[in-house]
Amino acid sequence: MPENGRPAMPLHELHWLLDMVHNLDAGLVIIDREHRVHLWNRFMENHSGIPADRILGQPLRTFFPDLPEEWLEHKFRTVLDMNLTSFSIWRQRPYLFRFPPPRPFTSRAEFMYQNVTMLPLRSVDGKVDHAGIILYDVTESALARNQLETMNRELEKLSRIDRLTGLYNRGFWEECLHAEFRRFRRTRQPATLVMFDVDHFKRINDTWGHQAGDEVLRALAQLTRDSIRTTDIAGRYGGEEFGIILVDTEETRAVHLAERLRREVERLEIPHGETALRVTISLGISQVREQLDSHDQWLACADAALYQAKREGRNRYVVRPCLDCG
Amino acid sequence: MPTPVLICDDSSFARKQMARAIPASWDVEIGFASNGEEALEAIRAGRGDILFLDLNMPGLDGYQVLETIRREDLPTLVVVVSGDVQPEARERVRRLGALEFIRKPIDPERISELLDRFGIRLEADTTARRDLTGIESEVTDFDIYQEIANVAMGRAADLLARYLGVFVQLPVPEVRLITHDDLAGLLPDAHTEITAITQGFVSGPIVGEALLLFEEAHAQGLEDLLPELDCQAGEIRMDAANLLIGACLRGIADPLDAEFGLSHPVILPAGKPLTEQIRPFVRALAFRFVYRIEKHAMECELLLLFTEDSLPALSERVEALHA
């Protein structure tokens, strides 16, 4: 009886076992301390194009100069010196051997994603001088996972965007306002909020229909997008009301943007069937201050300024320092 | 006087192989026909006392040739040589009057045995090879691919026929080099509802993918064929795909002396045209097979695509078969 206490395997069973190993749907490789190859099964032959009789006894790097030698050596040491099984998964390292994707025509993969297990192999004399490498093709699951993540990102994006205008929706925009407020608390960097809405919007809807109203909102959203910097954050706050968070900007500079936007809206002709619609907007401007307790108060300040602009005759902006707010 | 022997096959490679399998010591005059019409013509002219006949040919196929021979009582003895090795194919040709059925690829031993049975005595040296120089036109790689495809298709059909207990019709497979634009012509119409099962295959430098396509309207028959099996409809299709892809690839691998590793089968997502699911490529070698079970209105299509990078290795393997 051999040392491990198991009865010796009959020859025909050994033959089956070898057949299974050879035809296993995973790569099997055995290497020694010099990284010389001692087993190279059919999976490895097929995917690498290197037949076993050519690579056996040769160091891996002769055939795979791009192999991460240092990494492999490190893993190899763990396996041999500590007698531990070591793993590598595709998320950290997409592959060990660069093989073509298993389905060359219908797969989106550029290569075969691999999970790798490396285990210590004991010799007959009990010494551990060889490591076994098992290579799993996980291309399918890796692609599915990547696709799922892309889709989740898309969904997340969708849930941030207002469908009609393409600007951020109220929920996400308010989150940004909140974040900007917290940032101000930390850094004391200035930021100014501009709220605006369309004058007599109800009249447009009543006269020309809701579709005309939608076109006006879309055109204003486009104009807003074109007028702001990429760091500024514009959202549709509700019905015909919009908000812009101007990051790193003081009131005095925000006024320029507000006035420019007001003039451009005034000049804007929005085609609707045979006619062109014209609208004006009123704006309220408020810079964030230390006296404010919350982003809600900041928003209330800008809103108050906006209503003052309405009261004063519309198509204008009003700057209202937050100190004046209730 | 030498016996006039006629070899009828649409593949020049197959004609050459058949001619080569005829013992050199048999005193014959070999003639060739590349289709059914030509064969009948030659027989009527007395140039085909013995006819080695292929079954699956474009135009007049082997069955129709047999029917004509019987109807017109033409003076010839017919031996069918076919890759279609389904039991029912053998049965059919026997009923149509064929003397014997030899499977492709041809085993020369079988020919000698056969002649022996017919009472045709050969000279002692039956191993000598017939000198064929100058009697046949040039055989191209494509002739060989075509013939390999024929034989592989027959093998796969035989397994499917046994599995389902039916006869499978085999239209002549198509083999050609394609670009991505040609795909639309090879695939079912983009609007038909299909199930596509795909498996990658690889043997060193030879890399490709097998796509088995069931048109929804034509796949129902498959489930009706196996009503007693307690499994999901999808499973039966997967089984059929397994069998057809596996057997067909084996049939292609054997003559090329390759052994393909297969990846796990995947059902491609429905609702997106196949042409869009197949990534762009410049050139590919395509084998297209159609398997039809008429009685049950079942039809499926098997498409084997080899990458452009595989072509040199394929060509090299095929080169060995020319010799």
Per-residue pLDDT of B8-25, as tens digits, reads 999 888 898 899 888 888
Which residues in chain A are contacts of B203 at CB distance < 8 A? 46
Asked whether residue B54 is domain-assigned, the answer is yes
The pLDDT, as a whole number, for residue B135 is 56
Cβ-defined contact of B264 to A25 (cutoff 8 Å) = yes
Q: What digits encode the pLDDT tens for the residues B33-45?
A: 999 999 999 999 9
Asked whether residue B129 is domain-assigned, the answer is no
Alpha-carbon distance of A202 to A209, in angstroms, equals 10
Same domain, B211 and B101: no
pLDDT grade, residue A326 (50/70/90)?
very low
Cβ-defined contact of B284 to A140 (cutoff 8 Å) = no
Say which CATH number the domain at B310 has: 3.40.1550.10
What is the count of structural domains for chain B?
Answer: 2
Residue B304 domain boundaries? 141-322
Q: Which DSSP string do the residues of B149-191 spell out, in sequence order?
A: HHHHHHHHHHHHHHHHTS--B-PPPEEEEE-GGGHHHHSPPTT
Same domain, B264 and B148: yes
Same domain, B59 and B149: no
Of all residues in chain A, the one with the smallest CA distance to B304 is A105
In this predicted structure, the answer to whether residue A76 has a pLDDT above a threshold of 50 is yes
Asked whether residue B10 is domain-assigned, the answer is yes
Domains annotated on chain A, with CATH: 11-146 (3.30.450.20), 164-324 (3.30.70.270)
Same domain, B202 and B318: yes
Same domain, B268 and B178: yes
Q: Which DSSP string do the residues of A201-237 spell out, in sequence order?
A: HHHHHHHH-HHHHHHHHHHHHHHHHHHS-TTSEEEEE
Same domain, B260 and B182: yes
pLDDT above 90 covers a percentage of chain A that reads: 64
Say which CATH number the domain at B14 has: 3.40.50.2300
Asked whether residue B291 is domain-assigned, the answer is yes
Report, as an integer, the average pLDDT of A183-204.
94
The pLDDT, as a whole number, for residue A281 is 97
Same domain, B177 and B294: yes
Lowest mean pLDDT among A255-264, B141-150, B230-239: B230-239
Measure B204 CA to nearest chain A CA, in Å.
3
pLDDT grade, residue B137 (50/70/90)?
low
The pLDDT, as a whole number, for residue A325 is 53
Which residues in chain B are contacts of A46 at CB distance < 8 A? 202-204, 259-261
Same domain, B95 and B220: no
Asked whether residue B133 is domain-assigned, the answer is no
Cβ-defined contact of A100 to B202 (cutoff 8 Å) = yes
Of all residues in chain A, the one with the smallest CA distance to B202 is A46
Q: Are B196 and B179 in contact (CB under 8 A)?
A: no
Same domain, B88 and B177: no
Same domain, B183 and B57: no
The pLDDT, as a whole number, for residue B228 is 61
Alpha-carbon distance of B9 to B54, in angstroms, equals 5
Alpha-carbon distance of A150 to A53, in angstroms, equals 43
Question: Of B84, B117, B150, which marks where a domain is finished?
Answer: B117
pLDDT grade, residue A7 (50/70/90)?
low
Question: Of B77, B102, B117, which marks where a domain is finished?
Answer: B117
Alpha-carbon distance of B9 to B145, in angstroms, equals 15
Cβ-defined contact of A42 to B259 (cutoff 8 Å) = yes
The closest CB to that of A49, out of B200, B205, B278, belongs to B205
Same domain, B17 and B91: yes
Is the pTM above the cut of 0.80? no
Higher pLDDT, A219 or A5: A219
Same domain, B93 and B157: no
